[in-house]
C-alpha cells in the first residue's frame, strides 16, 4: 500500500510526547509490571525505541490504520520485548502450551514475573471484567499453582535461545500428539481422573476422516479459539472483530454443533454425551 | 465423567479438539504487519484484506499470540482516547460486513443521518456507546424482572424495534424483560426479524437498541445520556428534540408499551 501524504505528515514526536500518550504508555507498563521500578524502566525503554533512528518504527506507518492504534501495537510489542529481555522466556510446561494463550499469559504473570494474583486476574479480566470472567481465571490460577508448586519462585534473566523454542506452526495433531491433549481435557475440563482416551482416537484413519469432515471457516476457528480456548467474552469478540453483537455467539454455537456431529458420527464423543 | 458437564465446558472440549485436529491451509495474502493488526482493531481493512488477516490469525499461533496481547490491553488505550484529534480518525468506513447498495446501504445512510454531533464532543456511534457503557447496561439488565408472559403477535415495525432491544440485551449476554415486555416476546421478535432481514440492521432495529441503552443510562448514569447520538425519528413515535433528555426516553418507552397493548 502506498504511503499517504497524511501518513507521511504525521507528527510522531508531537503524538508520542503528548500528555495523553505518555499516560497511556505509563498505564500499559504499570499494568504489565505493577507500580514498580520495572514499569518506569519499561516506559523509558518504549520511548527510547520509538524515537530511535529518527522515529524509524513510527515512520513505517502508511495510513492503513489510525496513527494512535498503530502506536499502540508498537508500544505493546516494545513492552513485551522489554519483559522478555528482563525476565527471559523460560519454556512453559507442555501441558500449559497445549491449553492456550490465556493460560500461558497467566502462568507468565504469576510464576515468572511474580505478579500478585489479583493483579494478574484483573489484567486478564479487562476493565470492568468486559474481557473475561474472573471466576474462571481464579480457577485457572488454582490449577496452575496446584500443578506447579514452584510457581513464583523462579525469576531472573534467561536467554531466549537457551530455553524456548516456538512450536512449529505446521505441526498437525497425530494420534501421538493428541493423546496428551485428550488426557488433559478429560482431567481439567471434564473433571475426571486421567485415563487413556478411547481407542478410537488411536486410529490414524479415524483422525484423517474426522479432519476431512470438519468444516470450519477461518472466522469460526478464530472465534472458537478466542471464546472457548482463551475465555474471551462474546461481547468482547464482537467488539474487537467488528462483528454484529450477536454474531460471535451464533457462529460459535453453529461450529460447536458441527464438531459435535462429526465426533458423534465417528463415536468419539465422551460416553454420556452420545 | 460428571453427569452434567456444562454446555460451556462441552464447547471448550469440542473446540479444543477441533482446533488441534485442523490442518493449516495455504494462507492467502501476505502475513499481517503491525499496521494490519491496528487496522483490524480500527475496522479499517477492506473485506478482502480483513479475510486474509483473519485467516492468518486463525492459523498462525505466533500471530494470534500478538493479537491476544493487543486485546488484553486495548481497554487502556481506548480509555485514554478522548484528547487526540488526528485527521485520520474521522475516516471510518462502513462496517465491513455491511454490503454496499440495497436496503442495507439505505439503512446505513439513515444511520449516518442520526449522528447529530455536538461541538467539542467526541461522537459515540451506537456500537461505541454499547462498548463504553457496557457496565451500566449490565447493571441495569441485572435489575430487570424476568417476566414470563406469553408472546403475542405484533406488527412488523414493532417487531423490528423489539428485535433491536433483544440484540442490545444479547450483547451483554443477559436476556430479560424490558419495560413490561416479556423476554419471550423479545425473543420471538428477534426470531421473526432474522427471518425477514437476516443480518441487516434496519433503522427501527437500531432505534430499539438505542432505546434500551438510553433507558439503561437514565437508570444508572443519566448524565451520560448526552454522549449518545440522537436516533432518527421513526413513524408512530413522537419526534425527539435535538438534545434528548431522560424524560424523552421515558416518553418513547411508554409509547412503545402503548403500541404493544393497542
Phi and psi angles of residue B181, each rounded to the nearest 5 degrees, phi first: -95, 120
Question: How far apart (Å, rounded) are the C-alpha atoms in residues A233 and A132?
Answer: 6
Q: What is the CATH number of domain A198-273?
A: 1.10.10.10
Q: Best mutation site among B6, B17, B86 for testing chain A: the one with the most A CBs within 10 Å?
A: B17
Question: How far apart (Å, rounded) are the C-alpha atoms in residues B63 and B44?
Answer: 19
Residue contact B19–A73, C-beta within 8 A: no
Cell 493488526 identifies what position?
B37
Cell of B254: 411508554
Short-list B185, B188, B182, B186, CA closest to B144? B182
Q: How many angstroms separate the Cα of B105 from the Cα of each of A155, A238, B208?
A: 56, 21, 19
| B43 pLDDT more than 70 | yes
ipTM: 0.80
CB nearest to A214's CB, from B18, B61, B69:
B18
Instruction: Specify the higher pLDDT residue, B153 or A132.
Output: A132
Pair B37, B64: CB distance under 8 Å = no
CB nearest to B77's CB, from A24, A240, A246:
A24
Interface of B with A in 67-96 (CB under 8 A): 68-77, 79-81, 83-84, 86-89, 95-96
pLDDT for residue B24: 77
Residue contact A218–B58, C-beta within 8 A: yes
The strand pairing partners of B178, in sequence order, are: B181
Q: What single DSSP character describes residue A101?
A: H
pLDDT for residue B134: 81
Comparing alpha-carbon positions, the chain A residue that sits nearest to B1 is A192
pLDDT for residue A149: 74
Comparing alpha-carbon positions, the chain A residue that sits nearest to B174 is A235
Residue contact A243–B60, C-beta within 8 A: no
pLDDT for residue A223: 96
Domain extents in chain A: 5-87, 94-153, 198-273
Q: Characterize B230-255 residue by residue with b for buried, 16 or more Cβ atoms within 10 angstroms of its Cβ, and e for exposed.
A: bbbebeebeebeeebeeebbeebbee
The strand pairing partners of A41, in sequence order, are: none
CB nearest to A70's CB, from B20, B38, B131:
B38
Q: Best mutation site among A242, A251, A270 for testing chain B: the one with the most B CBs within 10 Å?
A: A242
> pLDDT of A171-230, one tens digit each?
455 556 677 777 777 777 666 665 555 666 777 888 888 888 999 999 999 999 999 988
Q: Count CA atoms within 13 Å of residue A142 on its CB side.
A: 7
User: Over chain A (274 residues), what is each successive 10-residue block's mean pLDDT?
Assistant: 66 92 93 86 96 93 92 96 82 81 87 83 81 87 82 50 40 62 73 61 82 92 92 88 85 93 88 68
> pLDDT of B109-127, one tens digit each?
454 444 444 344 556 888 8
In SS3 terms, chain B reads as CCCCCCHHHHHHHHHHHHHHHCCCCCCCCCCCCHHHHHHHHHCCCCHHHHHHHHHHHHHCHHHHHHHHHHHHHHHHHHHCCCCCCCHHHHCCCCCCCCCCCHHHHHHHHHHHHHCCCCCCCCCCCHHHHHHHCHHHHHHHHHHCCCCCCCCCCCCHHHHHHHHHHHHHHHCCCCCCCECCECHHHHHHHHHHHHHHHCCCCCHHHHHHHHHHHHHHHHHHCHHHHHHCCCCCCCCCCCCCCCCCCHHHHHHHHHHHHHHHHC
Cell of B28: 492467502
pLDDT for residue A153: 65
Q: How many angstroms separate the Cα of A48 from the Cα of each of A16, A45, A57, B159?
A: 11, 5, 11, 57
**CB burial of residue B147 (10 Å; 0-12, 13-18, 19+):** middle
Radius of gyration in angstroms for the set of CA atoms belonging to chain A, rounded to a whole number: 22
pLDDT for residue A56: 93
CB nearest to B35's CB, from A65, A100, A272:
A65
Residue contact B15–A224, C-beta within 8 A: yes
Amino acid at each position: 500500500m502506498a504511503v499517504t501524504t497524511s501518513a507521511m505528515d504525521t507528527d510522531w514526536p508531537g503524538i508520542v510526547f503528548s500528555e495523553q500518550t505518555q499516560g497511556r504508555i505509563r498505564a500499559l507498563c504499570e499494568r504489565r509490571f505493577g507500580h514498580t521500578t520495572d514499569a518506569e524502566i519499561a516506559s523509558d525503554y518504549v520511548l527510547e525505541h520509538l524515537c530511535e533512528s529518527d522515529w524509524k518504527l513510527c515512520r513505517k506507518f502508511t495510513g492503513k490504520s489510525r496513527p494512535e492504534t498503530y502506536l499502540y501495537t508498537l508500544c505493546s510489542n516494545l513492552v513485551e520485548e522489554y519483559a522478555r529481555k528482563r525476565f527471559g522466556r523460560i519454556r512453559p510446561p507442555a501441558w500449559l502450551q497445549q491449553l492456550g494463550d490465556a493460560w500461558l499469559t497467566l502462568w507468565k504473570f504469576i510464576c515468572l514475573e511474580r505478579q500478585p494474583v489479583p493483579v494478574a486476574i484483573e489484567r486478564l479480566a479487562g476493565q470492568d471484567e468486559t474481557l473475561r470472567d474472573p471466576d474462571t481465571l481464579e480457577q485457572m490460577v488454582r490449577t496452575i499453582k496446584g500443578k506447579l508448586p514452584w510457581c513464583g519462585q523462579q525469576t531472573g534473566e534467561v536467554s531466549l535461545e537457551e530455553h524456548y523454542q516456538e512450536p512449529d506452526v505446521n505441526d498437525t495433531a497425530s494420534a501421538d500428539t493428541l493423546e496428551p491433549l485428550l488426557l488433559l481435557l478429560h482431567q481439567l475440563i471434564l473433571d475426571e481422573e486421567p485415563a487413556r482416551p478411547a481407542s478410537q482416537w488411536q486410529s490414524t484413519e479415524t483422525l484423517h476422516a474426522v479432519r476431512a469432515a470438519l468444516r470450519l471457516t477461518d472466522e469460526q476457528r478464530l472465534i472458537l479459539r478466542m471464546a472457548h480456548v482463551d475465555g474471551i467474552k462474546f461481547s468482547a469478540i464482537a467488539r474487537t472483530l467488528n462483528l454484529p453483537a450477536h454474531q460471535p455467539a451464533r457462529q460459535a454455537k453453529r461450529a460447536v454443533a458441527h464438531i459435535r456431529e462429526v465426533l458423534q458420527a465417528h463415536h468419539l464423543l465422551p460416553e454420556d454425551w452420545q | 465423567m460428571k453427569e452434567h458437564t456444562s454446555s460451556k465446558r462441552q464447547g471448550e472440549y469440542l473446540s479444543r479438539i477441533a482446533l488441534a485436529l485442523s490442518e493449516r491451509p495455504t494462507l492467502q495474502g501476505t502475513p499481517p504487519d503491525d499496521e494490519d493488526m491496528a487496522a483490524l482493531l480500527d475496522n479499517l481493512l477492506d473485506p478482502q484484506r480483513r479475510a486474509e488477516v483473519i485467516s492468518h490469525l486463525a492459523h498462525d499461533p505466533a500471530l494470534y499470540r500478538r493479537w491476544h496481547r493487543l486485546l488484553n490491553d486495548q481497554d487502556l488505550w481506548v480509555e485514554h482516547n478522548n484528547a487526540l484529534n488526528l485527521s485520520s480518525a474521522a475516516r471510518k468506513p462502513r462496517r465491513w460486513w455491511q454490503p454496499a447498495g440495497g436496503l442495507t446501504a439505505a439503512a446505513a445512510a439513515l444511520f449516518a443521518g442520526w449522528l447529530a454531533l455536538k461541538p467539542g464532543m467526541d461522537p459515540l456511534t451506537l456500537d461505541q456507546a454499547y462498548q463504553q457503557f457496557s457496565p451500566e447496561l449490565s447493571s441495569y439488565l441485572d435489575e430487570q424482572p424476568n417476566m414470563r408472559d406469553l408472546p403475542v403477535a405484533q406488527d412488523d415495525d414493532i417487531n423490528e424495534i423489539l428485535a433491536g432491544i433483544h440484540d442490545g440485551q444479547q450483547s451483554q449476554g443477559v436476556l430479560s424483560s424490558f419495560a413490561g415486555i416479556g423476554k419471550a416476546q423479545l425473543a420471538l421478535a428477534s426470531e421473526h426479524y432474522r427471518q425477514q432481514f437476516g443480518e441487516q440492521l434496519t433503522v427501527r432495529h437500531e432505534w430499539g437498541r438505542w432505546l434500551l441503552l438510553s433507558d439503561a443510562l437514565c437508570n444508572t448514569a443519566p448524565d451520560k445520556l448526552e454522549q449518545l447520538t440522537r436516533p432518527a425519528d421513526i413513524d408512530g413515535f413522537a419526534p425527539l428534540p435535538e438534545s434528548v433528555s431522560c424524560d424523552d426516553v421515558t416518553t418513547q418507552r411508554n409509547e412503545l408499551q402503548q403500541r404493544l397493548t393497542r
